[in-house]
Amino acid sequence: MLSIVHSGALKGIEVVDVTIEVNSGERGDPRFIMVGLPDAAVKESHDRVFSALSNSGFACPRMRTTVNLAPGYIRKEGSFYDLPIALGVIQSTAQANMHLLDGFVIAGELSLSGTISDIRGGIAFGLYAKQHSKKLILPPKSAKEAALVEGVEVFVADSLVSVVAFLSGDVPLPRAQSSIENFYSIEQDYVIDFSDVVGQLAIRRAVEVAVAGGHNLLMIGTPGSGKSMIAKRIPTIMPRASMEEMIDIMNIYSAAGMSLSEENSCFRRPFRAPHHTISTVGLLGGGVIPGPGEISLAHNGVLFLDELAEFNRMTLEVLRQPLEDGEITISRSSGKVTFPCSIILVAAMNPCPCGFLGDKTGRCKCSPNLVAKYRSRISGPLIDRFDIQVDVPSVSLSDLRGRGKAECSADIKGRVERARSMQNKRFRDRKTTNARMVNVREICTLDATCQNLLDMAMRNLYLSARAYDKILKIARTIADLAESDRILEKHILEAIQYRSLDRVFF
């Protein structure tokens, strides 16, 4: 008898249809044949399914049985299909009459005893079910994730026996309950705050401008000047994520097998700080079954690259296009997978190999050639991705922490949110920020005085044409922070200060 079970495969952060056909009782040798999975996965799945069947009181098929996972060209992970395969075998050998089987999309890994373990991509299953108006049966944690997608009916599978009883119409299965509203309404709290960073007023301001306009930020300064302490606090001043942004972030984590919702009792924007020894695949994503890299795990948040000059140069070069596009596409023989990566890139580097160039103590003995060579590790086009480049003066860490409290994150965040709402009105969507604007010269119009000022700066400071548009964008953000519709002279003057590398690198 032929039975059909509906399931799904995770392709990047999307679920695509997979159908499991099981046919039992064919003529020929009593064999169990499985097609549509990689060889090693077939063997493992076969062993788990047979053990779970016998430990759950079902008979393993003694007739020739064929299992086909279609379509064959999709790269599948074996563990997703244990539960649907076991159900298909039970149905096709007439050990139960699961008349409800056709109405569900089912996935889950079986333990040898017949209990069901979690799979990756719970949120992606939820989004898929919503889009195609389907009902789901998933392992407990995956079901909880899928239920975060509004209006999706998800049932919790904890054992093979209970799923068979449910699909036969005998015993109900519990519905997964998670409310995105409840989750969203929890106030975000951070243990760190910008009030911990005392002094460094110029850098605090540069960070505020960067976050307000979504600009990438490069900090250049001696070790111990507080660059990473400042970077870590950037998510605390970012505008609150929308529900849609939140689901996008959680979808990536769930597809990567990392549950953001479980790790944190409340939702926060991601902050990722990979070490400089990271591989290209680790940073950008990839693998046999492509998974997201650090750049996508930082989606809608911050990717912090400390010691930028120490990263592999080739790895950094591949970063350029995704930074521009806000997404990254990984090509495999089985097709293309796209992951979103709309991030603020924050990087820190030392000014020279020893790190103390410009330090008051004069301990830097690096020759100009050595400094130039060190800086050339980062290409001009990559440097160009940083709208804001600032020098971080050296202060001792005790200075950074001491002398009372500075302005707290909540106050800065208030200004950032007001500046973002001006941008939302300007671009008529929530995703475009000043950093991502096109038609810069149409949007950032200047009056005659400002135009003269900028022209003069271009001539006197030998700024590049590229720097011209960057200065306009940053000036627009500074004007937004001041809630000014017009760009004023002081906004231009401040924006020029944030291009400290233009003359060094070009």
- What Rg, from alpha-carbon coordinates, does the chain have? 28
The torsion angles phi and psi of 286, rounded to 5 degrees, stand at 145, -155
Q: Does 42 bind Zn ion (CB under 5 A)?
A: no
How many helices and strands in the chain, by DSSP H and E? 22, 18
Q: What is the DSSP letter of 21?
A: E
Pick one of 163, 357, 392, 422: the residue that binds Zn ion (CB under 5 A). 357
Q: Report whether 237 contacts 193 (CB < 8 A).
A: no
Q: How far is the CB of 501 from Zn ion (least distance, A)?
A: 17
Q: How many angstroms separate the CA atoms of 240 and 480, rounded?
A: 18
Kind and range of the H or E element at 167?
helix 160-167
What is the rounded end-to-end Cα distance, in angstroms, of the chain? Answer: 72
Instruction: Give the CA distances from residue 402 to residues 198, 232, 233, 395, in Å, rounded to whole numbers and listed in that order.
Output: 7, 18, 17, 11
How many Cα atoms within 13 Å fall on the side-chain side of residue 354? 12
Q: What is the DSSP letter of 1?
A: -
Given the rule CB under 5 A, which of 100-108, 142-150, 353-361, 459-467 is the region that contacts Zn ion? 353-361
Q: How far is the CB of 500 from Zn ion (least distance, A)?
A: 17
Segment 132 to 191, residues that bind Zn ion, using CB under 5 A: none
Closer residue to Zn ion in complex, CB, 348/352 = 352
Cis amide leading into 239 (omega within 30): no
Q: How far is the CB of 366 from Zn ion (least distance, A)?
A: 3
Q: Does 366 bind Zn ion (CB under 5 A)?
A: yes
How many C-beta neighbours within 10 Å does residue 365 have?
11
Q: How far is the CB of 308 from Zn ion (least distance, A)?
A: 16
How many residues in the shown chain lie near Zn ion by CB under 5 A?
5
Closer residue to Zn ion in complex, CB, 311/374 = 374
Instruction: Give the CA distances from residue 486 to residues 143, 273, 443, 444, in Å, rounded to whole numbers and listed in that order.
Output: 50, 37, 10, 9
Pick one of 67, 231, 352, 463: the residue that binds Zn ion (CB under 5 A). 352
Given the rule CB under 5 A, which of 283-291, 346-354, 447-455, 491-499 is the region that contacts Zn ion? 346-354
Q: Does 34 bind Zn ion (CB under 5 A)?
A: no
Closer residue to Zn ion in complex, CB, 361/460 = 361
Instruction: Give the x-and-dash track for 299-338 against Zn ion (CB under 5 A).
Output: ----------------------------------------
Pick one of 364, 440, 453, 482: the residue that binds Zn ion (CB under 5 A). 364
Closer residue to Zn ion in complex, CB, 333/369 = 369
Q: How far is the CB of 363 from Zn ion (least distance, A)?
A: 8
Closer residue to Zn ion in complex, CB, 278/370 = 370
Pick one of 354, 406, 453, 493: the residue that binds Zn ion (CB under 5 A). 354
Closer residue to Zn ion in complex, CB, 352/488 = 352
Closer residue to Zn ion in complex, CB, 250/366 = 366
| Degrees to nearest 5, angle at CA 64 with 2 and 110 | 75
Closer residue to Zn ion in complex, CB, 116/352 = 352
Closest residue by Cα to residue 233 from 267, 265, 208: 208
Binding residues (CB under 5 A) for Zn ion: these are 352, 354, 357, 364, 366
